[in-house]
Amino acid sequence: MKNKAIKKYVLWGVFVVVMLVGFLWPLPNYIEGPGDASNLSKIVKIQNHPDKRKGMFMLTSVSIAQARPFTYLYAKLNPHYSVESDDSVTAGQNMIEYDKVQHFYMESSINEAIYTAYKHANQPVKRTYNGIYILNIERQSKFYHALRVGDVVVKVDGHHFKSSTGFVNYVKHQRVGQKLTVTYRRNGHSHQVTKRLIQIAGHRPGIGITLTDDVKVKPKVPIKVDPGQVGGPSGGLMFSLQIYSQLTNRNLRHGQKVAGTGTIDADGNVGEIGGIDKKVIAAKRNGAKVFLAPYLKPTKLILKYEPGHQTNYQLAKQTAKKYAPNMKVIPVATFDQAVSALSKE
């Protein structure tokens, strides 16, 4: 009896250890799957412009979590989930840097959405360009130990430009190995550093950073947008539609749940994003009847090097056909196209 009891306890101990390892042991991968589809009327508040229309615009997201042995196995067996490498998700950044970048992406997408929506609604709005926001720094960059993710570059060699395009064009016309002085802002304080340019893609000179514009907008009609913990730039299109519909009181939803995704820029262009198949599933689970998907016609060069290339729209359409046949997927390349398409629904 004693030996049986010991054996029983040993087996239970092994079982507990296996379960703990299976659920808690971190792997060098991430699991991506369908996230949420949030009601944007709960996120966007505009003074004296409530959302009283039936239906809703939905902000779709992708869930991301570090892989564990059991979740890794689940993701391999479930078609709606995928296993991604650490580099493909965080680009080699630590989680503090990654979260900071995702927060900025969201803040930037909200600003561009506000500007686009107010402009199309003929409401006064001011757009201010502050500089370049650093999203990533290559390890081989001479500026690697001087600049940080989150710094805002305001000048190079004393020159201030009105967009990141001006910065990029200035730098690429310099020489590899040439010294460049960068003036940047960190935590509200201005700093300056001088280092040499390195050779980047295309054998041209560069600082060795990934960047985006740091833009702030100030509309005349006050607005508050609180996305919670959701990060990234892909909500731009849906934010702009929600804001525009509240400002104009146009009935774009016709009582339906309308989901979608895509970035938005100051000119109202819609950009492609990642994980759209998972966002279609999230939309379907939350009852969406319409899904707006970015459509960017692939160039001949892209098709040459990626013969099986799929646009966001094609992948969304394919996913919906298989898993959400009653959902209508609409391709959009601009904000105006999205408004026009919804007006006809």
Q: How far is CA 97 from the centre of its chain?
A: 15
Question: What is the spatial distance between Cα 325 and Cα 194, in angstroms, rounded to a whole number?
Answer: 57
Asked if 91 contacts 214 with a C-beta cutoff of 8 angstroms, the reply is no
Question: Residue 178 corresponds to which tokens in the numbers above?
Answer: 């040439």
The dihedrals phi and psi of 98, each to the nearest 5 degrees, come to -60, -50
Give the span between the Cα atoms of 268 and 260, in whole angstroms.
Answer: 15
Cα 54 from chain centroid (whole Å): 28
The SS3 assignment for 246 reads helix
What whole-number distance in Å separates Cα of residue 142 and Cα of residue 156? Answer: 15
Residues shown for the chain: 345
Q: Which residues are catalytic, by number?
A: 234, 279
Integer Cα distance of 96 and 281 in angstroms? 29
Tell me the backbone φ, ψ of residue 214, rounded to 5 degrees: -100, 105
CA 108 to chain CA centroid, nearest Å: 10
Report whether 293 contacts 60 (CB < 8 A).
Answer: no
